[in-house]
A and B are shown apart, each in its own frame.
Chain A
């Protein structure tokens, strides 16, 4: 759409041409028309013009609004507003370019919101299985082109043979590490998951490239004699297959692990927090639980401040929750970023049932946090806080249902 504007002068020229009057009269006519219209509109609050439309003055009630930046509430005073509703003839004339189009009914089963989410997940899994298919296809190629392996005694045969074995060796030492990571996952670490999965994806892509490279070389050699199917090739193929299965199964395992234990994983930290903090009254029963979880987490957790269980012993301040105050605003005030509201929420979990619905008058404790945990310039901290945020919001969304 071009933004060309017609002015009164343009209309006047056109009128002068069409009706054989002077331009001056035309302009005078238009100005008089406008004047009469606005006068009438302001006097009666309504002006109807046949062929153009209806102008009306409507009263808009005063209403409350919220400043998006600060969360402050303010009132928008009631005021008059001018509305315009075009006449039918006007509306149809302007809509001429699209006149011939009519609504089309499509009969299709609707999909609910939950299903689309599952579809997304399924898509991702499907992509994994497609990749697996690709790799299997490449392996099949390998098996066909293998036979030249022993026959060629000199250098060219060595390179293709060595590379897959090396690769298999390279993959195998990785597997125990991955398993260890799975064990560690029982500790409340969410960032580790993301790291390890991305690492796996990288590994996979590297593997693929190397396979491509070696298979190309082999197709060159393919025309050489086909003899002596060795056991060697089968062993190589099996080891690659094993590696592929492991690579595929890990994300699936993680997926189900998060689904089932996502909530449990966060529980130990909060129990720890509530029992160890001096300001909150300890309950008798969770103490044993806490002791157990402490022993398990103590083994797995590294000195990284992000993965350590968070304790809220020291307080920076206490704030009374008022109308219009937000946990995010408090986080911005004390920690420098809104995302860190999750830690305030964790410290006050015994008082806040739902972080979206805090009653006024609640005393909120602002805990003193490890500065490494709330480093605004460290993306890891932000990622962790975001992960916690999505976890809590999802948790409460499911509770609300």
Chain B
């Protein structure tokens, strides 16, 4: 399903214009990203939780050139599906 199809789908089932749906989606995602960058997690009931995880800085060594590099800390998004969604996925046919 492409982005356009998703918008069309939502628009028809909610009877809101496609333009508005696109705007709503955009604001929702920017708001989520904004809050997660502040360290807050977003809990979506019936789906799962988006959590920001902080990765500490670390030293890496290039095995070929032996150059040590300090990788700065960063914050990444982790999605944890809720239990019902996990169970449903387990029951779903094999995806390989």
Q: Do A and B come from one complex?
A: yes
| Partner of B92 from A2, A57, A98 at Cβ < 8 Å | A57
Which of A5-13, A226-234, A308-316, A361-369 contacts the other chain? A5-13
Q: Does A246 contact B (CB under 8 A)?
A: no
B52 contacts A94, C-beta separation under 8 Å = yes
A99 CB to nearest chain B CB (Å): 9
**Closest CB of chain B to A13's CB: distance in Å?**
11
Residues of B within 8 A of A108 (CB): 68
How many angstroms between the C-alpha atoms of A45 and B32 in the bound complex? 24
Tell me whether B47 and A37 are in contact (CB under 8 A): yes
- Output the nearest chain A residue to B55 by Cβ-Cβ distance: A98
* B-side interface mostly: mixed
CA–CA, A205 to B14, complex, Å? 82
Query: Across the interface, do B76 and A30 meet the contact criterion of CB distance under 8 Å?
Result: no
Residues of B within 8 A of A96 (CB): 37
Report the separation of the CA atoms of residues A28 and B66 in the bound assembly, to the nearest whole angstrom.
56
Contacts of B76 in A (CB 8 A): 86, 91, 94-95
A176 part of interface (Cβ distance < 8 Å): no
Complex interface: stretch among A77-85, A137-145, A157-165, A343-351: A77-85
> Which bracket fits the contact residues of A?
35 or more
Contacts A90-B77, A104-B69; is A7 near B43 (CB within 8 Å)?
yes
Q: How many residue pairs, one in A and one in B, have C-beta atoms under 8 Å apart?
A: 181
- Interface size for B (C-beta < 8 A) is 65
B74 close to A1 (CB less than 8 A): no
Identify which of residues 27-47 in chain A touch chain B, using a CB-to-CB cut-off of 8 Å: 28-38, 40-42, 44-45, 47
- The reply to whether B95 and A58 contact each other, CB–CB distance below 8 Å, is yes
Q: Which partner residue on chain B sits nearest A87 by CB separation?
A: B29
- Partner of A32 from B13, B27, B72, B79 at Cβ < 8 Å: B13
**Residues in A whose Cβ lies below 8 Å from that of B21:** 29
CA of A177 to CA of B59 in the docked complex: distance in angstroms?
A: 50
Q: How far is the CA of A38 from the CA of B47 in the complex (A)?
A: 7
CB < 8 Å neighbour of B3 from A26, A50, A101: A50
Interface membership of A379, Cβ < 8 A = no
- A interface residues with partner B (beta carbon < 8 Å): 1-8, 11, 14-15, 18-19, 25-26, 28-38, 40-42, 44-45, 47-53, 55-59, 78-82, 84, 86, 89-91, 93-98, 101-110
For the complex of A and B, 7 pairs with smallest distance between CB atoms: A101-B72, A84-B79, A93-B33, A45-B95, A51-B29, A50-B3, A1-B39
